[in-house]
């Protein structure tokens, strides 16, 4: 029996950091895999690259192999949370009370999944995402870096949330408070302006951090 990580890219290195005994292999080396080998999916997706089809395909390609979860020791995971086969929870991520993560879910660095959330199989959650309590995500969703989903929102299968977006309802995606890469969020159908432009938010924070010393 051998432990393999499927992939040799950046995400594969993240998984290898959690599973140091595993060997990384490329797509052209898959013939090495035997049915009793233990596998981890090391194929993520780039920021805002759409539905994580390769992430799902690599998991489903080997139905006879075992895909145990990979949980970073610095992740905060509630003992009442349910973690599906092949799911990866990276460093500094939080998985709250009674949250349910399906199979082959990726919870990237510093992402937060609050109490009673349900995350569908093969969903990819990028670094810094905040998912508030009671949210339900379908299968193969992509939640871009730094996005925020408010409580009790439900999103269907293969939903794509651009990086930095505020989601307040299934059909109510707000423009980012800040630009995260060049994800074209403004051009996507259904996005509406946020209540506070990014400039106003920055000015407010600046005032709070730098009070007038003459005012005591």
Residues in the chain: 216
Where is average pLDDT lowest: 105-114, 125-134, 154-163, 199-208?
199-208
| Separation CA 160–CA 182 (nearest Å) | 15
pLDDT number for residue 150: 96
**Mean pLDDT for the stretch of residues 140-166:** 92
**Mean pLDDT for the stretch of residues 142-161:** 93
Q: What angle do CA 103, 56, 7 make, to 5 degrees?
A: 105
Q: Which residues pair with 24 in a beta bridge?
A: 5
**Mean pLDDT for the stretch of residues 150-155:** 96
Q: Which residue, 181, 88, 156, is CA-closest to 167? A: 156
**Mean pLDDT for the stretch of residues 65-83:** 96
Residue whose entry in the numeric block shows the structure tokens 């949370």? 81
pLDDT band at 8 (very low <50, low <70, confident <90, very high): confident
**Mean pLDDT for the stretch of residues 131-139:** 97
In the chain, what percentage of residues exceed pLDDT 70? 76
The pairing of strands 172-174 and 166-169 is antiparallel
């Amino acid at each position: 029996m051998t432990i393999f990580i499927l992939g040799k890219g950046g995400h594969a290195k993240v998984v290898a950091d959690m599973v140091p005994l595993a060997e990384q292999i490329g797509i052209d080396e898959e013939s090495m895999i035997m049915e009793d080998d233990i596998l981890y999916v090391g194929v993520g997706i780039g920021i805002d690259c759409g539905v994580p089809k390769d992430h799902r395909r690599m998991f489903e390609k080997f139905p006879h192999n075992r895909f145990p979860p990979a949980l970073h020791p610095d992740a905060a995971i509630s003992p009442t949370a349910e973690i599906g086969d092949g799911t990866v929870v990276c460093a500094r991520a939080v998985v709250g009370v009674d949250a349910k993560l399906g199979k082959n879910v990726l919870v990237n660095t510093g992402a937060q999944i609050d109490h009673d959330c349900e995350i569908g199989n093969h969903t990819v959650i990028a670094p810094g995402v905040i998912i508030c309590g009671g949210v339900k995500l379908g299968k193969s969703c992509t939640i871009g870096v730094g996005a925020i989903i408010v409580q009790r929102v439900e999103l269907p299968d293969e939903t794509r949330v651009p990086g930095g977006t505020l989601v307040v309802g299934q059909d109510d995606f707000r423009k980012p408070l800040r630009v995260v890469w060049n994800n074209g969020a403004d051009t996507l159908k259904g996005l509406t302006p946020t209540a506070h432009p990014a400039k106003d938010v920055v000015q407010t924070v600046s005032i709070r951090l730098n009070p007038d010393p003459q005012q005591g």
